[in-house]
């Protein structure tokens, strides 16, 4: 199972170091920031499982970071815990009410009790089935909520993506290597959407398999999918060994002992916009989107490269 990722935003060097050392020793993947701008940049590149925020920072209030997390469709599911010396009732009302943080903890704090709060908050978030266990991208209920919203919205484009040959890769290289590919895809998706998209754009991952979705504008989807395909094709070979990279294909021995030559992984991308509607339920919407994506597979079989089909 992948490590939970914590984003710790704390400008006091001694407290920052204490939190980083402690939570790293407990098996978490810890990223730290001493300024709000640095924290927002980290959020753009990598989704944490939980954000632990100080309030008093050199360049902004932690409340503003929390509000930015909640305002962004890609991060609004991230649990927030405030860890601060500001303990007036009005401060707590902002943190718990306006920002909708999961907890508000006063300094000085007991680190074991803080860890218990972090652990319980992560458990509750996973129980709600809001994030994928490997990539931390929104999934299940979060995706369903976004798709339901499309039924009455205008000006949207729904992109569905699948990593082709992912199952063969996992068979040949193992499940751990497969998880690394999923993490790579999630990081790539988050970076490209953060660079070319808008705060209201949504990126998620289906609960099973190597399938991802993006909700953006039609113009935004064109630029994002173009960059995704280019970067995926340029970088995916790094997940293969030298022999397969050099050959441009993966050699896989089947159950009968026969050696097969299989293409390297690629992205099959289908983009469906609201002009192809109206759509009356989620099932109709997703089946239509998947049919568009399926058309991209024929292009991939001819070129061996990622392909995008626009409905």
Please write the tens of the pLDDT for every residue from 221-247: 999 999 999 999 999 999 999 999 999
Domain check: are 65 and 171 in the same one? no
Question: What pLDDT digit, counting tens, does each position of 189-202 carry?
Answer: 999 999 999 989 99
Is the per-residue pLDDT at 25 higher than 80?
yes
Domain residues for 81? 5-127
The whole-angstrom separation of Cα 53 and Cα 83 is 6
Question: What pLDDT digit, counting tens, does each position of 116-127 carry?
Answer: 999 999 988 877
Is the per-residue pLDDT at 130 higher than 80?
no
Is the per-residue pLDDT at 129 higher than 70?
no
Domain check: are 96 and 160 in the same one? no
The whole-angstrom separation of Cα 124 and Cα 4 is 13
Interval 69-89 mean pLDDT: 92
Residue at 133 is within a domain: no
Residue at 194 is within a domain: yes
Residue at 135 is within a domain: no
Query: Is the preceding omega at residue 108 within 30 degrees of 0, hence cis?
Result: yes
Which residue did the predictor score with more confidence, 3 or 164?
A: 164
**What average pLDDT does the structure give for the chain?**
93
Domain check: are 147 and 295 in the same one? yes
Number of domains observed in the structure of the chain: 2
The whole-angstrom separation of Cα 228 and Cα 98 is 35
């Amino acid at each position: 199972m992948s490590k939970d990722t914590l984003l710790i935003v704390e400008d006091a060097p001694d407290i920052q170091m204490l939190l980083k050392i402690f939570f790293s020793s407990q098996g978490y993947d810890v990223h730290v920031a001493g300024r709000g701008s640095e924290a927002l940049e980290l959020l753009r590149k990598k989704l944490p499982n939980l954000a632990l925020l100080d309030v008093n920072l050199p360049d902004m209030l932690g409340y503003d970071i929390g509000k930015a997390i909640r305002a962004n469709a890609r991060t609004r599911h991230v649990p927030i815990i405030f860890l601060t010396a500001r303990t007036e009732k009005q401060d707590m009302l902002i943190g718990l009410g306006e920002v909708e943080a999961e907890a508000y903890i006063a300094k000085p704090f007991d680190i074991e009790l803080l860890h218990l709060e972090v652990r319980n908050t992560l458990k509750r978030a996973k129980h709600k089935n809001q994030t994928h266990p490997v990539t931390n991208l929104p999934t299940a209920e979060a995706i369903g909520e976004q798709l339901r919203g499309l039924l009455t919205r205008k000006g949207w484009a729904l992109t569905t993506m699948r990593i082709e040959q992912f199952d063969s890769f996992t068979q040949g290289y193992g499940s751990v290597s497969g998880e690394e590919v999923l993490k790579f895809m999630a990081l790539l998706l988050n970076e490209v959407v953060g660079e070319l998209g808008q705060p209201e754009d949504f990126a998620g991952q289906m609960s099973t398999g190597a399938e991802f979705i993006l909700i953006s504008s039609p113009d935004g989807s064109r630029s994002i999918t173009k960059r995704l395909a280019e970067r995926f094709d340029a970088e995916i070979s790094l997940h293969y060994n030298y022999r397969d990279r050099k050959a441009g294909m993966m050699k896989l021995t089947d159950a009968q002992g026969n050696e097969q030559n299989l293409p390297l992984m690629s992205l099959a991308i289908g983009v469906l916009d609201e002009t192809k509607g109206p759509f009356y339920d989620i099932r109709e919407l997703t089946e239509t989107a998947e049919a568009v994506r399926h058309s991209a597979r024929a292009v991939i079989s001819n070129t061996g490269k990622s392909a995008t089909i626009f409905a």
